[in-house]
């Protein structure tokens, strides 16, 4: 029987650091020594290969060009491997996993993002467990079909849909949350998969998109935000879309100047996407008077999408040469399981 093959894509990040025995400093892992560090991998009887970014990058430096490189690597190696594990810094992992979910259309194999809060070279590292379980999930099959054929994030015993997570804690091993969608799997003595929530594999040929438009910005509202600041954002040259982070279920100020600025921006072709600041819950425009006027002006509801997925979805859709009206329509529809509707 042919061995299951897994490709590890190492972009950088905390997980890939080990302590140099001579200097005591942390440096990127030498993947030729992987089995010495993690001898348990031998028991899986997998073929495990790796490709690394050169140079490696801190996840704070992640940007569209790097996302496209990851997607290209997966596309170029798609037929040779059963699953993919992307080692990535945790700070921007939710953005990257969200973007990849959109770039990889018709995905039918696992792409598991993982990382750690402590380097592999530290005694108490969470990286060992995260790494091993991510590989096992990427390799998991039932009746020779992958168990989780979508982009996901594995961190501290839980597997989440990649476009449903947010990083919410910088100090805890439980760094990620997915308030609006249940875990796809939970790891204990065994890995228990929640099959009902996992996307079904798409049998069409994988299409790797390679165009993103980053003319998007986030405007987070707060009580007393100056009108000049709002206008400065909405009048930014070349800007195509604004993620408006609103209060509660999509509420915003009702004063005349604010609404006039929103109306003018939309009439000038700017897309305004209403996304709640809350980690859980959803936008329900028109529920309160504070959001009803925005609905009438043409602000688009983000429903229960995360800010990270909203950014990823806008960059993706704006890069597809679609009309503004078509982009607005798709923003309110789940195209990769990113919203509940």
Strand partners, 154: 114, 159
CB 312 within 8 A of CB 102: yes
Taking residue 50's Cβ as centre, other Cβ atoms within 10 Å add up to 15
Place of tokens 């228990």: 192
Query: Which one from 11, 14, 246, 306 is the annotated catalytic residue?
Result: 14
Q: Quote the tokens at residue 312.
A: 């990823």
Q: Tell me the DSSP string of 114-145.
A: E--SS-TTSTT-SHHHHHHHHHHHHH-EETTE
Quick one: which of 306, 54, 4, 10 has its CA closest to 180?
306
CB 113 within 8 A of CB 83: no
The yes-or-no answer on residue 125 being catalytic is no
CB 127 within 8 A of CB 154: no
Strand partners, 52: 10
Quick one: which of 256, 241, 255 has its CA closest to 302?
241
**Phi and psi torsions of 261, nearest 5°:** -65, -40
Q: Residues near 308 by Cβ (< 8 Å), separated by ≥ 6? A: 94, 95, 98, 163, 165, 166
CA–CA gap between residue 269 and residue 1 (Å, rounded): 57
Quick one: which of 89, 81, 26 has its CA closest to 51?
81
% helix, strand, coil for the chain, step of 5? 35, 20, 45
Place of tokens 């299409």: 207
CA–CA gap between residue 243 and residue 272 (Å, rounded): 6
- Hey, which residues are catalytic here? 14
């Amino acid at each position: 029987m042919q061995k299951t093959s897994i490709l590890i894509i190492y972009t950088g990040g905390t997980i890939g650091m080990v302590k140099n025995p001579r200097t005591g400093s942390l440096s990127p892992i030498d993947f030729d020594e992987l089995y010495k560090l993690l001898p348990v991998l031998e028991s899986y009887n997998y073929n495990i290969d790796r490709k690394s970014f050169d140079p490696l990058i801190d996840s704070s430096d992640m940007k569209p060009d790097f996302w496209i490189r990851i997607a290209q690597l997966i596309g170029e190696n798609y037929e040779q491997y059963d699953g993919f594990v992307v080692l990535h810094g945790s700070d921007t992992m939710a953005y990257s996993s969200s973007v990849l979910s959109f770039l990889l259309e018709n995905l039918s194999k696992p792409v598991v993002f993982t990382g750690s809060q402590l380097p592999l070279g530290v005694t108490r590292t969470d990286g060992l467990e995260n790494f091993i379980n991510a590989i096992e999930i990427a390799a998991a099959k039932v009746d020779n079909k992958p168990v989780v054929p979508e982009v996901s994030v594995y961190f501290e015993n839980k597997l989440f849909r990649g476009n449903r997570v947010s990083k919410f804690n910088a100090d805890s091993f439980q760094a990620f949350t997915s308030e609006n969608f249940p875990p796809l799997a939970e790891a204990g003595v065994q890995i228990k998969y929640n099959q009902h929530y996992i996307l079904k594999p798409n049998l069409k040929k994988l299409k790797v998109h390679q165009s993103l438009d980053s003319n998007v910005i986030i405007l987070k509202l707060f009580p007393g935000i100056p009108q000049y600041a709002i206008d400065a954002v909405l009048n930014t040259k070349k800007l195509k879309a604004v993620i408006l982070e609103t209060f509660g279920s999509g509420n915003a100020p009702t004063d005349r100047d604010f609404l006039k600025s929103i109306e003018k921006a939309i009439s000038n072709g700017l897309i305004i996407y209403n996304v709640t600041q809350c980690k859980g819950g959803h936008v329900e425009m028109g529920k309160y008077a504070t959001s009803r006027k925005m609905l009438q002006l043409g602000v688009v509801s983000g429903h229960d999408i995360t800010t990270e997925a909203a950014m990823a979805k806008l960059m993706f859709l704006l890069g597809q040469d679609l009309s503004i009206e078509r982009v607005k329509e798709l923003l309110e529809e789940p195209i990769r399981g990113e919203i509940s509707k």
